[in-house]
């Protein structure tokens, strides 16, 4: 028993050291800023930098257009430190829906990678050690990995949940996957996709996007459908920046932000 306890302590210490080194590598690239993008329900895509204290806009980076002027709405954003790239997924975008793109955080220009996915993915997460991109779906119960070169989504598991409503999804500094469905925060098994509930967010609306800050605080974008007793309000386009306790699932609104936001990521400042 003592040997097992000692081994467990060594493993935990190794994980903590690896997470600290990973955090150091990201921070070495510069301060992290919360970037958010619109794209809910086919809305026009625009990229913003938000104030992490209250959700107000610090910078309107610009429209999410490609070199031909086509506009892309986004339902997911995620920065990949291994490539120095900001990825996005297009959801119900009017241009190339359900596909993978790369976004330039300096000018919001979009480069198409590939698609369409076989399922309407709601958000993406990148493991901080393997850099594998994972995804959950707003149209199925299944769990996916996404090829960052081709944009092909491969079903690898089953969340055991209904299709994601809100469907925020992200990974923390040690690779734990967190996601939201309806008003509940979950963790997800990277091999099977199985979701384990943490707790009720106690927010009025779904959480459409999730992202961890450099300080390991879980932020989210709330809005897009009521979870109250009055029933779903899918027409709601208001949004709030929130923080969520990863131990209890409880969310707290920080302030109102841009309507139709559906994607969030912390990105090194240009």
| CATH assignment at residue 153 | 2.120.10.80
Task: Identify whether 75 is part of a domain.
Answer: yes
- 217 within some domain: yes
pLDDT of residue 256: 97
Q: Flag whether 25 is in a domain.
A: no
Residue 28 parent element (H or E): helix 2-28
**Per-residue pLDDT, 226:** 56
Q: What is the pLDDT of residue 16?
A: 42
Contact 129, 22 (CB under 8 A): yes
Nearest to 236 by CA among 221, 219, 250, 255: 221
What residue numbers bound the domain in which 250 lies? 31-268
In a domain, 89, yes or no: yes
CA separation, residue 43 to residues 8, 39, 72, 109 (Å): 49, 5, 9, 17
For residue 13, is it within any domain? no
Exposure class string for 35-61: b at 16+ Cβ within 10 A, else e: bbbbbbeebebbbbbbbbeebeeeeeb
pLDDT in 10s for each residue of the chain, 270 residues: 444 444 334 333 433 444 444 444 444 445 899 999 999 988 999 999 999 999 999 999 999 999 999 999 999 999 999 999 999 999 999 999 999 999 999 999 999 999 999 899 999 999 999 999 999 999 999 999 999 999 999 999 999 999 888 899 999 999 999 999 989 999 999 999 999 999 999 999 999 999 999 999 999 999 977 544 444 555 678 999 999 999 999 999 999 999 999 999 999 977
Q: How many domains does the chain have?
A: 1
pTM: 0.86
- Classify residue 209: in a domain, yes or no: yes
In a domain, 2, yes or no: no
């Amino acid at each position: 028993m003592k040997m097992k306890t000692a081994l467990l302590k060594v493993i935990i210490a190794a994980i903590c050291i690896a997470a600290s080194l990973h955090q150091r590598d990201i921070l070495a690239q510069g301060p992290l800023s919360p970037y958010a993008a619109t794209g809910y329900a086919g809305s026009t895509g625009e990229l913003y930098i938000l104030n992490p204290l209250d959700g107000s806009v610090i910078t309107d980076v610009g429209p999410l257009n490609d070199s031909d002027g086509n506009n892309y709405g986004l339902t997911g954003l995620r920065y990949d430190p291994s490539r120095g790239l900001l990825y996005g997924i297009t959801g119900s975008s009017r241009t190339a829906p359900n596909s993978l793109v790369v976004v330039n955080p300096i000018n919001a220009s979009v480069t198409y990678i590939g698609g369409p996915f076989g399922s309407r993915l709601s958000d993406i997460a990148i493991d901080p050690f393997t850099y594998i991109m994972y995804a959950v779906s707003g149209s199925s119960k299944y769990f996916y990995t996404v090829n960052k070169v081709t944009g092909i989504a491969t079903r690898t598991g089953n969340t055991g949940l209904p299709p994601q409503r809100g469907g925020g999804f992200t990974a923390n500094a040690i690779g734990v996957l967190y996601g939201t469905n309806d008003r509940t925060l979950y963790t997800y098994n990277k091999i099977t996709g199985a979701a384990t509930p943490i707790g009720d967010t106690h927010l009025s609306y779904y959480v459409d996007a999730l992202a961890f800050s450099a300080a390991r605080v879980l932020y989210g974008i709330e809005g897009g459908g009521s979870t109250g007793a009055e029933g779903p309000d899918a027409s709601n386009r208001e949004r709030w920046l929130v923080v969520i306790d990863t131990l209890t699932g409880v969310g707290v609104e920080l302030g109102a932000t841009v309507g139709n936001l559906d994607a969030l990521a912390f990105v090194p400042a240009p």
